[in-house]
């Protein structure tokens, strides 16, 4: 009898869960599906703040994403909870402030590895800049970084499963 692998669970986190983290969720989901990994990875996003709970992603994020084939319109903002630290293998923070907030929220029984999302990159910025106060180009630059980092994370996770790690 062949047992099913337990999916790797990944949570993307930004401040309000309306720009960076839902974009990362949608990009990661689409790229995982394209690689045939969709059933092996559980993906979600959340924010450290509570002011956008239940709202869809920012319209500018949706517009930028749809131009590249990603759909965000069905996602809704939620706030990180203490349970997330035991439900996810990786909690990926978009910037240093989010990382500090996550570490402060960690109830102490975490199974999740909490790191910055861009730590996977060998060079370049270590944070995904928050485009919320920016222009359309800010959202395109955000998406560029997210696409690159998602590919790197998928490479690492596919290797982890193949190596049995």
Task: State percent of the chain over pLDDT 90.
Answer: 82
- Name the CA dihedral angle for 146, 151, 155, 157, rounded to a multiple of 10 degrees: 40
Per-residue pLDDT of 121-140, as tens digits, reads: 988 899 999 999 988 899 99
| Domain at 147, CATH number | 3.40.50.2300
In a domain, 45, yes or no: yes
Output DSSP code: residue 61.
Answer: H
Domain presence at residue 3:
no
Residue at 80 is within a domain: yes
- Asked if the structure places residue 119 within a domain, the reply is yes
Does 66 reside within a domain? yes
What pLDDT score does 124 carry? 87
Residues 22-62: tens digit of each pLDDT: 999 999 999 999 999 988 999 999 999 999 999 999 999 99
Q: What domain range includes position 22?
A: 8-163
**Which residue, 119, 78, 82, is CA-closest to 99?**
119
Q: Given the residues 44, 58, 101, 130, select the one marked as catalytic.
A: 130
* CB-CB neighbours of 50 under 10 Å: 12
Is 130 considered catalytic here? yes
Q: Please tell me which residue in 14, 44, 78, 101 is annotated as part of the active site.
A: 14
Does residue 118 sit within a domain? yes
For the chain, what is the domain count? Answer: 1
Q: Residue 4: its pLDDT value, please?
A: 52
pLDDT tens digits for range 86-98: 999 999 999 999 9
Decide if 63 is inside a domain. yes
pLDDT classification of 164: cutoffs 50, 70, 90: very low
Residue 116 a catalytic site member: no
Cα 45 to Cα 81: distance, rounded to the nearest angstrom: 11
Indicate if 150 belongs to the active site: no
Question: Can you give the pLDDT at residue 87?
Answer: 96
What was the pLDDT predicted at 1? 29
pLDDT band for 2, please (50, 70, 90 cuts): very low
Separation between Cα atoms, residue 31 and residue 153, nearest integer Å:
11
Place of tokens 């559980």: 42
Query: So what's the pLDDT on residue 122?
Result: 87
Counting Cα atoms < 13 Å in the Cβ hemisphere of 117 gives 29
pTM, full prediction: 0.93
> Is 26 a domain residue?
yes
Catalytic residue among 19, 20, 44, 95: 20
């Amino acid at each position: 009898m062949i047992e099913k692998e337990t999916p790797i669970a990944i949570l993307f986190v930004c401040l309000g869960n309306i720009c960076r983290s839902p974009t990362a969720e949608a990009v990661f989901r689409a790229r995982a599906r394209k690689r045939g990994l969709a059933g092996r990875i559980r993906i979600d996003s959340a924010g450290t703040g509570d002011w956008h709970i239940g709202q869809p992603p920012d319209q500018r994020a949706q517009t930028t994403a749809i131009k590249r084939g990603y759909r965000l319109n069905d996602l809704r903002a939620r706030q990180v909870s203490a349970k997330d630290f035991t439900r996810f293998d990786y909690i990926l923070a978009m910037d240093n402030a989010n990382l500090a907030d996550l570490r402060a929220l960690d109830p102490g029984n975490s199974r999740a590895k909490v790191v910055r999302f861009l730590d996977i990159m060998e060079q370049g910025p270590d944070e995904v800049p928050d485009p919320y106060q920016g222009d359309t180009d800010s959202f395109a630059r955000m998406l560029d970084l997210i696409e690159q980092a998602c590919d790197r994370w998928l490479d690492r996770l596919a290797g982890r499963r193949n190596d049995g790690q």
